[in-house]
Amino acid sequence: MKIPILRLGEILLTSIQVDLTDAEVMQFQTEVLHTIADTEARGLALDITAM
């Protein structure tokens, strides 16, 4: 499952709305790290209220 990662100024914003498998968590982690590196974001807001 692809989890959107949005850029809001210097911050990345993402929300996990479903249960993830271990493989999906690892893929999400990789995507977040690549996005941080590509955008030079200074922070990450991770919404987990739906969990």
pLDDT at 30 over 90: yes
pLDDT at 51 over 90: no
Can you point out the beta strands (E) in the chain?
A: 5-8, 11-15, 43-47
Number of H helices, E strands in the chain: 1, 3
pLDDT at 15: 96
